[in-house]
């Protein structure tokens, strides 16, 4: 091995990335739980599933950091044999746990869709994608555990026996993974697109639910890293791919939390809006106009039973009493929407009954 290559190390990058994403996932899940408490609602199945998912994110993050501690991110020739053996054992444990983690996060997102959009299309699509996710998880975990015979050869390459081609197995794992992510993210777009709202508003709502697109990017990027895998230099060639497994899983937790944070966003922006209105009134009074321009943000809501999607946009109509008019934008409403503003748009999902 060239002496300059022997000094190569990606360990600092792997460690910082792993810790940062795990901490961010924890912060966003905490914010999600705070938002649920602000709405005074009980935690649902999607919340608890995501808590379990975060627990597994921390497990695989810990395994990744342990691999780095023993030398992952450096070349094989620079790692003592005992440490190499430990790295192989940790990688063997990491593979099935990553698959379980990714599957739990996918199921949490599907459960969130079911809560927000309790309609037939989402129920059927969710069942199909949920079943496919479980089948993928079981198949890939089985493959990861029994990739070699005897099993011990998977983490002790010197033993006699045989193994599947690991690179091919990683490719076979990666393709269904990011295809499932794409399908899950696209699931609610048909329903949202059918809303009787302006093109701008529909695109804005879809973008909120597609914040998880980074998960797809992370999954595809991790998949691309598989092609640099070298069985003769595993600690070096697998380091980036394994770290991006943590990134992908943590990003899934973060993305699943983002659509639920509207109560927190409203809480922190309320003061800014009040200040802006006070300044506006002050400026108008000083200018002698004696009246305020109607530039406040209006509200329009989609209400389906106990489920409500609130869209905030500019120039919504008001009743004579000064309150904003509510426009039904459900797919069954064929009337035209009165929302024409193309200002900043935000949605919140409020689908739970408040606790008494």
* pLDDT beyond 60 at 305: no
Mean pLDDT of the chain: 77
Cα 235 from Cα 241, distance rounded (Å): 11
The percentage of residues in the chain with a pLDDT greater than 70, rounded to a whole number, is 69
Report CA dihedral (46, 205, 186, 95) to the nearest 10 degrees: -50
pLDDT given for residue 276 in this prediction: 55
Q: What tens digit of pLDDT does each residue of 288-302 get?
A: 443 333 333 333 333
* Model pLDDT for residues 2-53, shown as the tens digit of each residue: 555 667 899 999 999 999 999 999 999 999 999 999 988 889 999 999 999 9
Torsion sign (Cα): 93, 94, 99, 105: positive
Band the pLDDT of 218: cuts 50, 70, 90: confident
Confidence of residue 327 (pLDDT cuts 50, 70, 90): very low
Q: Which residue has the higher pLDDT, 239 or 1?
A: 239
Burial of 173 (0-12, 13-18, 19+ CB in 10 A): buried
Peptide bond into 243 cis (omega under 30): no
First vs last C-alpha separation in the chain: 69
Residue with more model confidence, 101 or 200: 101
Q: Reduced to 3 states, what is the DSSP secondary structure of residue 284?
A: helix
């Amino acid at each position: 091995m060239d002496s300059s290559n022997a000094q190569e190390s990606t360990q600092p990058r792997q460690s910082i990335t792993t810790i940062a994403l795990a901490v961010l996932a924890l912060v966003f899940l905490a914010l999600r739980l705070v938002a649920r408490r602000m709405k005074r609602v009980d935690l649902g199945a999607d919340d608890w599933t995501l808590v379990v998912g975060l627990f597994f994110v921390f497990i695989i993050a810990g395994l990744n950091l342990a691999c780095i501690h023993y030398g992952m991110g450096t070349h094989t020739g620079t790692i003592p044999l005992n440490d190499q053996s430990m790295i192989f054992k940790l990688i063997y444990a990491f593979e099935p746990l990553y698959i379980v983690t990714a599957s739990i996060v996918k199921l949490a997102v599907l459960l969130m869709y079911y809560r927000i959009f309790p309609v037939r299309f989402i129920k059927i699509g969710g069942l199909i994608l949920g079943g496919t996710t479980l089948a993928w998880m079981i198949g890939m975990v089985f493959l990861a555990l029994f990739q070699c015979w005897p099993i011990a050869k998977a983490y002790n390459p010197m033993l006699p026996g045989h193994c599947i081609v690991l690179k091919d197995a990683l490719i076979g794992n990666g393709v269904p993974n990011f295809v499932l992510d794409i399908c899950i993210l696209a699931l609610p777009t048909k329903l949202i697109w059918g809303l009787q709202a302006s093109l701008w508003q529909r695109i804005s709502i879809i973008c909120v639910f597609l914040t998880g697109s980074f998960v797809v990017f992370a999954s595809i990027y991790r998949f691309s890293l598989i092609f640099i895998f070298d069985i003769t230099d595993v600690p070096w060639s697998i380091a980036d791919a394994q770290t991006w497994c943590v990134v992908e899983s943590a990003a899934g937790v973060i993305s699943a939390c983002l659509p639920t944070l509207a109560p927190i966003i409203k809480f922190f922006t309320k003061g800014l809006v009040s200040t802006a209105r006070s300044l506006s009134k002050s400026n108008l009074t000083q200018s002698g106009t004696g009246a305020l321009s109607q530039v406040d943000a209006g509200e329009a809501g989609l209400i389906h039973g106990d489920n409500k999607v609130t869209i905030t946009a500019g120039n919504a109509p008001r009743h004579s009493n000064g309150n904003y008019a509510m426009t039904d934008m459900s797919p069954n409403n064929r009337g035209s929407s009165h929302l024409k503003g193309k200002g900043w748009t935000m949605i919140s999902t409020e689908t739970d009954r408040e606790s008494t």
